[in-house]
Amino acid sequence: MKDKDRKIVRSFRVRFAQVDGAHVIYYPRYLEMIADTFPEAALDRVPYDLSIRFLGSNRLGDNIRMIFEPNETGWSVSGSMKRESFSVVLTEKSADRPMEPYQSELASFETEQFTIRDWMCGPGGKLHLSRYYELISHAVEQWFEASLGMSFQELHVAENLGIPTVQLETKCTAFPRSGDTVSVALRPISVGESAAQLMTWLTGSGGVLLETRQVIVFADLSDRKIQSVSIPEMLKRNMRSQLAAVPSH
């Protein structure tokens, strides 16, 4: 990373296309905000590890003050209004980091294989990081319906519950390219009273391309403050039945 002492401060206003039905920003949009606001971030330049924390919700119309700070091992970005609402830390890794083989026995659910399309990719033909997180969200939605016994329509509309992501730890080894065939696999690795931690793997013919630990929290959508609530007993029981040890990084 060049210009390690150069701090950059810019502002970003949350627009309608970036929010969900509750007018809260959809978390993959944060990565688009960073890529668009700070070209120096170079999110397509792997390998690296990414640590993301969501400390508060940002809504339609919010004006977020973002600070980009390069450092010896990569960079960090923090976003705030009256207080910090999110932070992203990128740590560069050795260019020769090998791709790990995919261990299918670790997954409790796996999507069907699908093809990476041009619209998912940047000018260089690689999958956008934000699109990767959208693929994870889609896999989680399929997992709820096919494996846990509750669709997102039932969760969000009938139960009036959401599952906002509050933490992501991603190991980026390689991005698939347009035309590549991939799948997403996942498994819960811890389930508490109101939160669960998931491990997901985006895999291709060469092995594990991207790996993420994700923390989701169950929340009451009728409360504008988005307060956490207990996981419904049926979902908690079904998630805990899938728990298994997952090797650390």
208 lies in the same domain as 162: yes
121 lies in the same domain as 190: yes
202 occurs within a structural domain: yes
237 lies in the same domain as 214: yes
Domain-ending residue, one of 64, 79, 97: 97
Which residue from 99, 38, 105 is spatially nearest to 74, judged by alpha carbons? 38
2 occurs within a structural domain: no
Statement: residue 37 has pLDDT above 70: yes
List, for residues 41-51, the tens digit of each pLDDT value.
Answer: 999 999 999 99
pLDDT of residue 54: 94
Region 230-241 average pLDDT: 96
Region 93-122 average pLDDT: 88
Q: Percent of the chain at pLDDT above 70?
A: 95
176 lies in the same domain as 139: yes
122 occurs within a structural domain: yes
82 occurs within a structural domain: yes
Label the pairing between strands 48-54 and 165-172: antiparallel
List, for residues 191-234, the tens digit of each pLDDT value.
Answer: 999 999 999 999 998 899 999 999 999 999 887 777 899 999 99
48 lies in the same domain as 162: no
Statement: residue 113 has pLDDT above 60: yes
114 lies in the same domain as 141: yes
- Residue scoring higher pLDDT (58 or 102): 58
Statement: residue 58 has pLDDT above 80: yes
128 lies in the same domain as 221: yes
75 lies in the same domain as 118: no
Label the pairing between strands 195-204 and 181-191: antiparallel
Mean pLDDT for the chain overall = 91
Statement: residue 247 has pLDDT above 60: no
Q: Which domain holds residue 116?
A: 100-249
The domain tally of the chain equals 2
pLDDT of residue 193: 97
42 lies in the same domain as 106: no
* Nearby residues of 103 by Cβ (< 8 Å), 6 or more positions away: none
21 lies in the same domain as 136: no
Region 133-162 average pLDDT: 95
Domain-ending residue, one of 40, 63, 97: 97
Which residue from 90, 107, 92, 121 is spatially nearest to 203, judged by alpha carbons? 107
Domain-ending residue, one of 97, 112, 135: 97
26 occurs within a structural domain: yes
- Rounded Cα distance between 176 and 179, Å, is 8
1 occurs within a structural domain: no
148 lies in the same domain as 83: no
130 lies in the same domain as 235: yes
pLDDT band at 1 (very low <50, low <70, confident <90, very high): very low
* Cβ neighbours of 104 (radius 10 Å): 11
Region 67-75 average pLDDT: 95
- Rounded Cα distance between 69 and 178, Å, is 31
- CATH number, domain of 142, equals 3.10.129.10
Cα-to-chain-centroid distance, residue 169: 8
